[in-house]
């Protein structure tokens, strides 16, 4: 699985469907070799078939962001395949259960909070820290964290969801921590908001297509070396924290 050294490689978590698939497709169309992360091996391989059918150079990486072992194995796979990583898109995310008022703050089920944080926040830290040694070997490494304007303390948008929305607020905060820590390196870290997108996540009720939702993440993944760091962006520009 040795790759040509000057082809950039991008890992997208949760790439088997929705916005993640569209990010993988868009980065592939821009010339990246795509490591398509999927927690289910069969779903990952099926996504890679679909990506290859559109002319994208992709390979599947089994990656459950909640598992240390899975993430370590994914890093080893990418190291073996490419020896480095140019772009990491932390896209995998969950809304968490909403039945029985479990995300109403007044009846909040803390197990639901833990589950959502484990994927949406700890998963990002787990994957980022496992991939950083590979990212540091790239000439212009970029990290994009897929957030949501529901995490904006200023905008306070979307339904009341007291596990999901705070998970994205914390993801935004972690994004800034990484950007500050990596300020004197070539690793550029930002958060993206895709807008309200028609995927499984929203019961396909969103007004935007996965391709529209993917656009900002793709843009941030290909920022020039003097691009912004530690910001929160959507298609319109800066999103209020």
Pairing of strands 232-234, 237-238: antiparallel
Instruction: State which residue, 45 or 137, has the beta carbon closest to ligand NAP.
Output: 45
Q: How far is the CB of 32 from ligand NAP (least distance, A)?
A: 18
9 strand-pairing partners: 33
Radius of gyration of the chain from Cα atoms?
A: 17
User: What does the per-residue mask of binding to ligand NAP show for 138-167, with x meaning CB under 6 A?
Assistant: --------x-x-------------------
Q: Residue 238 has what DSSP assignment?
A: E
Residue with tokens 């091996």: 41
Instruction: State which residue, 105 or 159, has the beta carbon closest to ligand NAP.
Output: 159
- Rule CB under 6 A: choose which of 119, 128, 172, 175 binds ligand NAP: 119
Distance CA 60, CA 37 (A): 6
Number of residues forming the site for ligand NAP (CB under 6 A): 30
By the 10 Å C-beta count (0-12 exposed, 13-18 middle, 19+ buried), 193 is classed as buried
Q: Residue 62: which H helix or E strand, with range?
A: strand 58-62
Q: Is 232 in the site for ligand NAP (CB under 6 A)?
A: no
Q: How far is the CB of 225 from ligand NAP (least distance, A)?
A: 26
Stretch that binds ligand NAP, among 64-72, 135-143, 173-181, 182-190 (CB under 6 A): 64-72
- Rule CB under 6 A: choose which of 8, 10, 11, 14 binds ligand NAP: 14
From the candidates 21, 32, 59, 164, which is the catalytic residue?
164
Q: Is 27 in the site for ligand NAP (CB under 6 A)?
A: no
Q: Is 40 in the site for ligand NAP (CB under 6 A)?
A: yes
User: What does the per-residue mask of binding to ligand NAP show for 182-221, with x meaning CB under 6 A?
Assistant: ------------x-xx-xxxx---x---------------
Instruction: Reply yes or no on whether 164 is catalytic.
Output: yes
By the 10 Å C-beta count (0-12 exposed, 13-18 middle, 19+ buried), 6 is classed as exposed
Closest C-alpha among 41, 127, 30 to residue 88 = 127
- Rule CB under 6 A: choose which of 11, 16, 188, 233 binds ligand NAP: 16
Distance CA 16, CA 44 (A): 5
Active site members: 164
């Amino acid at each position: 699985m040795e790759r040509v050294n000057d082809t950039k490689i991008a890992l997208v978590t949760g790439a088997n469907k929705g916005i993640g698939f569209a990010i993988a497709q868009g980065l592939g169309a821009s010339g990246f070799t795509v490591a398509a992360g999927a927690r289910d091996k069969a779903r990952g391989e099926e996504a890679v078939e679909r990506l290859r059918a559109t002319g994208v150079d992709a390979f599947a990486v089994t990656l459950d962001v909640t598992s240390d072992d899975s993430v370590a194995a994914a890093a080893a796979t990418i190291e073996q395949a490419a020896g480095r990583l140019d772009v990491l898109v932390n896209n995998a995310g969950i809304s968490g259960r909403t039945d029985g008022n479990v995300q109403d703050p007044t009846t909040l089920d803390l197990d639901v909070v833990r589950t959502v944080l484990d994927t949406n926040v700890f998963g990002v830290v787990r994957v980022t820290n496992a991939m950083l040694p590979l990212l540091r070997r790239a000439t212009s490494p970029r990290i994009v964290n897929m957030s949501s304007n529901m995490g904006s303390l200023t905008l306070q948008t979307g339904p009341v969801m007291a596990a999901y929305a705070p998970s994205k607020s914390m993801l935004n905060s972690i994004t800034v921590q990484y950007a500050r820590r990596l300020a004197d390196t070539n690793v550029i870290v930002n958060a993206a908001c895709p807008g309200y997108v028609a995927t499984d996540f929203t019961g396909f009720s969103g007004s935007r297509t996965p391709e529209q939702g993917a656009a900002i993440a793709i843009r941030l993944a290909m920022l020039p070396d003097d691009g912004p760091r530690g910001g929160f962006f959507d298609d319109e520009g800066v999103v209020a924290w």
